[in-house]
Structure 1
Amino acid sequence: MKSTLSKISFIAMTLCVVFATNTSAQKLGSFGSLTEKTVGPKTIKVPYTDVVSYLGYAAAGNEDATVDGKKFYYIYIWVPAVAPELGVRMMSPVGKTKVKNAIEAADYADHAGDKDYFDTYITLERSTIISKDDINEAAVSSAKWTTLERNDDSSEMPSQPSGSNYNSLLRYKSEVGNPTKALTVGLYRVGFTTYKTGEVNGTFLAEVAAPIKLPGVAMAKTLDELNKQINQ
């Protein structure tokens, strides 16, 4: 009898540990570029040289636009130099993930411990704005935006607390011969929403990366915040 109870207790404890691990933390690995190299028997993606991290919080009702019936939120990015490639990834929730030198949204700290999260869906968009002096509400509203790449679910990203691979990652290589799709100096944005029906609600980590150093990259939820970073 004691042996049977001990086995039941052990199984119960094991399940609790597994459940707690799945729901409390997501382990984020290095961010690899499109360039690959062979190391022994393995082929790996060479990590991006420059990574800018942003910790934010998205709440229902605070969306920036409705696109094809979905509520979209935007993070604006100023890219001050020509880039051969950009990578973008997003995960929700942030949980206990530690990120060095991350930019924090004003409302992130108030929600850092929240358990809410959403099924991320991301886009990388480029605008027709090529001067930092034109970053204002009027110019951005009238600018033409081109979607360069998009992603819903990525098996390269850690699973969400539910166990599903619903976090997102995309990579985009510059098309030098195409003026609208080349990664030149200018204003970009990461659009994000949830692929499934429902509200976007929870903390998130968004990262934009390049295979070369891009000194002066700015990343913010609002244009005012972006201009402050650019002018620092």
Structure 2
Amino acid sequence: MTFDVELPKGAVSISTEWGEGAGRGTVLVAHGAGGGMEHPFLVGFTDALNDLGFSTLRFNFPYREQGRRMPGPAAHAIATWHAAVKYARVRAPEHAMWAAGKSYGGRMASMAAAEGLEVDGLIYLGYPLHPPARPDKPRVEHLPAIAAPQLFIEGTNDPFIQPVAQLEEAVAACQNARIAWSDGGGHSFEVKGHKRPADEVGASLAPLVEEFAAS
């Protein structure tokens, strides 16, 4: 399955993977900067959501479809989020819809939401508040403009959110947002001294989404 995204140099066909649930709504899931939609973390995450009754739509950003490793302009990712929601609404028009993304994918969802993306909530799997060791470069200006509820799922040892007080201040400035902490987790929720497969780590976060959706 694919959908098209209109970009300045022409349309790009976007690969997708739909997971059928039991009518509890749809969670759209975007990948991080360094991996595509087939990353085991995301596969485990969406499989677990399907088991909980949610349908899911994983998708790539255009730069991945074009064989590039580094993200393109933010406008391309924002356009992709709008196209993904449009595609999902045609497929499941009766569903509530949440936008979720790993790191970069979540930040792009937040930027799209600040510009009018209509979803019932946003879920960030390791929001990249700033580049590692650069708390002077926060990516937060647009967050207070988002009206939809926001859930920040964050590892306490994630270098992208140190010091954690800076993230707490950013979330407090939002209209409707909260943090779910993963104790000892890094940027991909890995815990030092406790190795788990990436798909298992992703699956472990699904109940947090279920709780958020219910609230």
Coarse TM-score class (shorter-chain normalised) = under 0.3
* Larger radius of gyration between Structure 1 and Structure 2: 1
Q: Indicate the structure with greater helix content.
A: 2
Q: Indicate the structure with greater strand content.
A: 1
Q: TM-score, normalised by structure 2?
A: 0.25
Higher relative contact order (CA 8 A, sep 6+): 1
Q: TM-score, normalised by structure 1?
A: 0.24
